[in-house]
Amino acid sequence: MNSTKKFAMVLLIAFMTVVMAACGSNAADKKEDKAGNSEDGLKIAIVTSPSGVDDGNFNEDNYNGILKFIENNPTATVKSVKEPTGDPAAAVQAVADIVADYDVIVTPGFQFAGVSSIAVENPDKIFIMNDTEPAPVDGQTEFDNIYAMNFAEQESGFFAGMAAALETKTNKVAVVNGIAYPSNVNYQFGFESGVNYANKVYGKSVELVELSGYAGTDVTGADVGGNYAGSFADEATGKVIGNALIKQGVDILFVAAGGTGNGVFTAAKEAKNDVKVIGVDVDQYDDGSNGSENIVLTSAVKFMAMNIEKSLNSVADGSFKGGNVVLYADTESTGFIKEEGRHQLSEDTLNKLNEAYELVKDGTIVPASNFNGNTPEEFPGL
């Protein structure tokens, strides 16, 4: 081979090497990973409270909505970020630290309200909030790039109250809460509304038990009563409250207290008499396992995963619209667990709850919430 041909061959091999390297680089760049590095699909991040996306409850349900979206949109990716303090300022900073790298950021929890300031600075990014409304920025309360969803917890709480009143054997029931934020008060007032409804409509005489010293104070400073631990992460206090209520004869406890509720579950499992709990936010039946038995009667739920997935679908198909919304039973967003094998409700109770669900859905029954002007003793439908 003469020198000219050799030189041409060297150039050809060099060129092919560069092309192949470039192709390999492109393939690597497009490879999906959990850090959100795909160039083809939505890059999604979820920033959560210290309990993370595997908490078996609130955060995990939001995360499951993202995973369901990715299942149907396999080029999309997700990165989970755990903010370790739960402090609102730290939560906002955690979002600020990553905002440049993602298309959509999901923030479950009240502590992320201040993310609105980041949304204003990054109009090309989309934010999906759950369980809070964006904090005002220069008087603005709704934003084109923020979809803030809240749920009518009072509706789910109402079904919990009905279930408790219809299933109790001691005629004493109670609700245990974490902190008297609006969503928690909604659960409490809804539960109390449900008990009062069962008492009036079905001739029950069930007592709502409250412990001295544990009354809640809502965000306006009003005394809302109830049994508030003062924390969503105090399992020991949850157990103390649970044991005290059980000692007073309560045999069904509605537990809306986050990690604090784990202590209530423990108290119920260790009780010598038959004590049941009603889970919250998600299906907690698995958490109720107690040897060969289960202490979970049913769970009062918000269908968060479904709505997170819907929001991401709207981003993907270009129909996304910002706004602050409250989701009700009329969109199947609130309710209770009634799937076979996931509850212990009697057939009669289940029938009564299904009938009431339709009345809540069409607005005939409007349970009390923290700020809707109704009280657990006086509300439409009672």
Pairs from 287-295 (Cβ < 8 Å, separation ≥ 24): 287/56, 294/344, 295/265, 295/268, 295/269
Q: At CA 325, angle to CA 104 and CA 312, rounded to 5?
A: 25
| Under 8 Å between Cβ of 59 and 78 | no
CA atoms within 13 A of residue 151's CA, in its CB half-sphere: 30
Q: Which phi and psi angles does 258 have, rounded to 5°? A: 60, -135
**pLDDT tens across 231-265, in order?**
988 999 999 999 999 999 999 999 999 889 999 99
User: Which domains, ranges and CATH numbers included, belong to the chain?
Assistant: 43-151 (3.40.50.2300), 153-302+335-361 (3.40.50.2300)
Whether the per-residue pLDDT at 12 is higher than 60: the answer is no
**Predicted TM-score (pTM) of this structure:** 0.85
**pLDDT tens across 213-234, in order?**
999 999 999 999 999 999 988 9
Q: What is the dihedral of CA 219, 224, 226, 228, to 10 degrees?
A: 20
Measured CA to CA, the distance from residue 301 to residue 252 in angstroms comes to: 17
| Under 8 Å between Cβ of 115 and 134 | yes
pLDDT band at residue 86 under the 50/70/90 scheme:
confident
Query: Given its phi and psi angles, is residue 309 left (phi above 0), alpha (psi -120 to 50 degrees) or beta?
Result: alpha
pLDDT band at residue 340 under the 50/70/90 scheme:
very high
**pLDDT tens across 123-147, in order?**
999 999 999 999 999 999 999 999 9
Note the Cα 1 to chain centre separation in Å: 73
**pLDDT tens across 258-313, in order?**
889 999 999 999 999 999 999 999 999 999 999 999 999 999 999 999 999 999 99
Note the Cα 66 to chain centre separation in Å: 13
Q: Which two three-digit tokens encode residue 262? A: 């784990």
Cα-Cα-Cα-Cα dihedral sign, residues 225, 329, 65, 310:
negative
Alpha carbon of 355 to those of 13, 322, 352: distances in Å?
76, 34, 5
Q: Which two three-digit tokens encode residue 210? A: 């409250």
Give the residue carrying structure tokens 């129909």: 319
Would you tell me how many other CB atoms lie within 10 Å of the CB of residue 199? 18
Lowest mean pLDDT among 52-66, 297-311, 350-364: 52-66
